[in-house]
Amino acid sequence: MQTIRHLDPLKKMVNMLHGAGRRIALVPTMGALHAGHMALVTQAKAIADDVIVSIFVNPIQFGPNEDLSRYPRQEAQDAALLADAGITGLWLPGVDVMYPQGFATTISVAKLGDGLCGAARPGHFDGVATVVAKLLTQVQPDIAVFGEKDWQQLAVIRRMVCDLDLGVEIMGAPIVRDNDGLALSSRNAYLSRDERSAALSLPRTLQTALAQIEGGAAIAPALAHAKTTLLQAGFASVDYVALVDATSLETLEMLDREARILGAARMGSTRLIDNFPVRFKK
Looking at residue 237, which CATH number applies to its domain?
Answer: 3.30.1300.10
Q: pLDDT tens digit string along 217-247?
A: 999 999 999 999 999 999 999 999 999 999 9
Residues 121 and 214 placed together within one structural domain of the fold: no
Q: CA-CA distance, 249 to 41, in Å (whole number)? A: 27
Q: Is 18 noted as a catalytic residue in this protein?
A: no
Q: What's the mean per-residue pLDDT of the chain?
A: 96
Residues 190 and 168 placed together within one structural domain of the fold: no
pLDDT value at position 64? 87
Residues 160 and 28 placed together within one structural domain of the fold: yes
**What percent of the chain is modeled with pLDDT above 70?**
100
pLDDT value at position 203? 98
Of 212, 217, 264, 257, whose CA–CA distance to 239 is shortest?
A: 264
Q: pLDDT tens digit string along 47-75?
A: 999 999 999 999 999 988 888 998 999 99
pLDDT value at position 32? 93
Q: Which domain holds residue 117?
A: 2-173
pLDDT value at position 282? 72
pLDDT value at position 241? 98
Residues linked to residue 171 through DSSP beta bridges, in sequence order = 145
Residues 14 and 121 placed together within one structural domain of the fold: yes
Question: Average pLDDT in the 4-11 region?
Answer: 98
Number of domains in the chain: 2
Instruction: State the pLDDT confidence band at 268, using cuts at 50, 70 and 90.
Output: very high
Residues 75 and 118 placed together within one structural domain of the fold: yes
Residues 126 and 216 placed together within one structural domain of the fold: no
Instruction: State the pLDDT confidence band at 140, using cuts at 50, 70 and 90.
Output: very high
**CB-CB contact of 74 with 31 (8 Å):** yes
Question: Average pLDDT in the 125-137 region?
Answer: 97
Residues 129 and 13 placed together within one structural domain of the fold: yes
**CB-CB contact of 154 with 169 (8 Å):** no
pLDDT value at position 51? 98
Residue 89 lies in a domain: yes
Question: Average pLDDT in the 118-131 region?
Answer: 95
Residue 228 lies in a domain: yes
Where residue 68 falls (left for φ over 0; alpha for ψ -120 to 50; beta otherwise) is alpha
Residues 27 and 139 placed together within one structural domain of the fold: yes
Instruction: State the pLDDT confidence band at 193, using cuts at 50, 70 and 90.
Output: very high
pLDDT value at position 222? 98
Q: CA-CA distance, 273 to 203, in Å (whole number)? A: 9
Residue 278 lies in a domain: no
**CB-CB contact of 58 with 29 (8 Å):** no
Residues 148 and 237 placed together within one structural domain of the fold: no
pTM of the predicted structure, to 2 decimals: 0.95
Question: Average pLDDT in the 82-90 region?
Answer: 98
Residues 19 and 108 placed together within one structural domain of the fold: yes
Burial (CB < 10 A; 0-12, 13-18, 19+), residue 169, is: middle
- First and final CA of the chain: distance in angstroms? 48
User: Which residue in 6, 18, 34, 37 is the catalytic one?
Assistant: 37
pLDDT value at position 280? 81
